[in-house]
Amino acid sequence: MKKKIIWIVVLLLAASAAYWFYRKPASAPATAPGQSSSSKESKRGRGADGKPLPVQAALTKLGDIEVFINALGTVTARNTATVKARVDGQLVRIGFHEGQMVKQDQVLAEIDPRPFQVQLDQAKGQLARDQALLINAKLDLERYRGLLAKDSIAKQQVDAQDALVRQYEGVVQSDRAQVDNAQLQLGFTHITAPLSGRLGLRQIDVGNMIHGSDANGLVVITQTQPINLIFAIPAADIAAVLAHLHAGETLKVNALDRDGKTPLASGKLLTVDNQIDIATGTVKLKAEFGNSDDKLFPNQFVNARLRVETRHGAILAPSAAIQRGTQGTFVYVVGPEQMVSIRPVTLGLVSGDIVAIEKGLAAGEQVVTDGTDKLRDGAKVVVTTPGARPGKAGPGASAAGGSPEERQKRWAQINARIERGEFGEEIKKLSEPERKQRMQEMRRQRGAATDSQNAQ
């Protein structure tokens, strides 16, 4: 029993010693001789090794900026008509090919004309008979008037003959109308195109009976030259559009494919709808395109780009250079000694990745577009190209540096990774500008996490 107590005491002492050893705080490194607090402060705005921070920058410039409104639209034919028979009969001839371009009044098909020719001949015979009766009645009336002048017959007989003549004149007029109607029905046996356009698929074959009441008709014809585009824009943008329309300006509309990259056609804005859709808060607009090359097709979904305004001689800067904080919008301007300074700016028109600066910058100044995470006012920087920047660039690295071809190539690679789902499914649903913004946020978050790990 005594030995057991001794062993317990030994174990407790050993545990206490181990706890004291591992819990002892490490000694703080001594401050290097000659290093003062002011020297520590001098490292603010520099990297962890005291070197200038690597950034990417771009020059502001004078240029023109175009303001576009992007929307999804549906191509619609200018006119659409279902070609139907005007009379009932057997279809004996088709005079067109499916998909053919036809002119107005061009003969498309023929119905058996024989029954209608018989009706025409019958109407003509009735007209000839009644015309003969009218001629005889007029001769009798002339004779009766001569006899009345000699007081050989009663005036009543002359009046009766005069009424008979007018009766036959009415009959002849009715017969002529019957002849005209029969000729019209015979003409309807030739089915013609009501307008110029492209034919669709044939709905009935030769030999079948065709009726004017058939729902599908013979064929559908659509007028595609010119062709229209219907698209909707937010109600907040309608005031700017109407201001230019009321001034008599022609607003240009571009149609692009579903990816928004390949231009399909260029046209002009025709009109604006007269009411706002309260369910979506948008207003419908109609544009017209010549479509001589048939790149637009009815019911095709396309991206519409409406050019609202063009500002000439504006100071242009990349959107990536614009920073936002409690003091508003600002940029980091690189000075002649590679020292950055914070410059408040007033933004103007925005078009894609370019923004017009109303106040705060001059043309030719260098602004930081990437690497702003650790910047402070007065920090030293070194402007690098994306290929020369230390470390591996993340997937959201800004494409502001380098030539336009290099930026486009880098973004195409990142966009391909997005489409493969490497960054999640949610980002795939965003537009291209929204994707760029989301990737930049992801890169900044990753940089902040790296800094936190290094600090620990």
DSSP string, 191-239: EE-SSSEEE----S-TTSEE-TT-SS-SEEEEEEEEEEEEEEEEGGGHH
Q: Which amino acid is at 36?
A: S
- Most confident of the following: 148-152, 233-237, 399-403, 435-439: 233-237
How many CB atoms neighbour CB 254 within 10 A? Answer: 19
Verify that 80 and 212 share a domain, yes or no.
yes
**CATH number for position 146:** 1.10.287
Contact between residue 55 and residue 370 where contact means Cβ atoms under 8 Å apart: yes
**Domain contains 383:** yes
- Better-scored residue on pLDDT, 22 or 407: 407
Verify that 292 and 159 share a domain, yes or no.
no
User: Cis link prior to 318 (omega < 30° from 0)?
Assistant: no
What pLDDT was estimated at residue 50?
A: 58
Verify that 129 and 262 share a domain, yes or no.
no
**CATH number for position 206:** 2.40.30.170
What pLDDT was estimated at residue 398?
A: 42
**CATH number for position 55:** 2.40.420.20
Verify that 324 and 303 share a domain, yes or no.
no
Domain extent at residue 397: 45-65+314-450
Verify that 88 and 209 share a domain, yes or no.
yes
What pLDDT was estimated at residue 399?
A: 41
What pLDDT was estimated at residue 42?
A: 43
Domain count along the chain:
3
Verify that 101 and 204 share a domain, yes or no.
yes
Verify that 149 and 200 share a domain, yes or no.
no
Nearest to 383 by CA among 345, 343, 339: 339
Verify that 281 and 225 share a domain, yes or no.
yes
Nearest to 329 by CA among 346, 315, 342: 346
**Domain contains 9:** no
- Better-scored residue on pLDDT, 453 or 311: 311
Q: Which residue has the tokens 């070197």?
A: 51
Nearest to 138 by CA among 104, 161, 108: 161
The backbone region for 248, taken as left when phi is positive above 0, alpha when psi lies in -120 to 50, beta otherwise, is left
Nearest to 447 by CA among 57, 48, 42, 58: 48
**Domain contains 257:** yes
Write the pLDDT tens digit of every residue in 34-69. 334 444 444 445 554 557 888 888 999 988 888 888
Nearest to 231 by CA among 280, 289, 286: 286
Tell me the whole-structure pTM to 2 decimals: 0.58
How many CB atoms neighbour CB 406 within 10 A? Answer: 14
**Domain contains 33:** no
**Domain contains 99:** yes
Kindly give the pairing relationship between strand 340-344 and strand 282-289.
Answer: unpaired
Verify that 334 and 388 share a domain, yes or no.
yes
Average pLDDT of the residues in 426-447: 75
Give DSSP secondary structure letters for 129-167: HHHHHHHHHHHHHHHHHHHHHTT-S-HHHHHHHHHHHHH
**Domain contains 28:** no
Question: Angle formed by the axes of helices 404-419 and 432-455, to 10°?
Answer: 90
**Domain contains 269:** yes
**Domain contains 16:** no
Verify that 443 and 326 share a domain, yes or no.
yes
Q: Which residue has the tokens 């009706």?
A: 119
Cα–Cα distance measured from residue 397 to residue 392, given in angstroms and rounded to the nearest whole number: 10
pLDDT at 325 over 90: no
